[in-house]
Amino acid sequence: MPVYRGLLLSIFAASAALAQDIDLQNGHNLYRTYCWQCHGFEATGDGPMAEMLAIRTPDLTRLAAQNDGVFPIEEVARQIDGRAPLLAHGGEMPIFGPALDSDQKVALTMPDGQPMFAGVPLANVIYYLESIQIE
């Protein structure tokens, strides 16, 4: 059963972003638009395109479990927005990363308390991914 750990989101006055901009359902919808083909409908790494990749597609429901119980916010953001290249995709991962960017930013609180700014759509996907973590 998924355990909702509650993404530590801090909304700063860096933009017009408000708490209601962080939307779990929107994150779920964005996941179903951009991610499920490789990562699977339930985010377990078994999407229909997974077998075509050069590496094993990760199970996104176990990211916290594989990181000593801490959801790796920064690593997830860097992977999704393309700052951390993934060679299985032939280069930058994902090719649709810019679709999740936005001028409207929110600050995600890192485990050490430091803020990391992300566009609202990316923050919503991260929020969704954290909500589906299992132990």
The domain locations on the chain are: 9-131
pLDDT of residue 46: 95
Q: DSSP per residue over 61-87, as a string? A: GGTTGGGTT---HHHHHHHHHTSS-BG
The number of beta carbons lying within 10 Å of the beta carbon of residue 101 is 15
pLDDT of residue 85: 67
pLDDT of residue 124: 96
pLDDT of residue 4: 40
pLDDT of residue 52: 87
pLDDT of residue 79: 87
Q: Which residues, given as ranges, of the chain have pLDDT below 50?
A: 1-20, 92
Task: Judge if the upstream peptide bond of residue 94 is cis by omega within 30 degrees of 0.
Answer: yes
Please give the CATH topology (third level) of the domain spanning 9-131: Cytochrome Bc1 Complex; Chain D, domain 2 (1.10.760)
Helix 73-81 to helix 120-131 angle, to the nearest 10 degrees?
Answer: 130
pLDDT of residue 94: 62
Give the CA count within 13 Å in the CB-facing half-sphere of 121.
Answer: 16
**Rounded distance, CA 114 to CA 96, Å?**
27
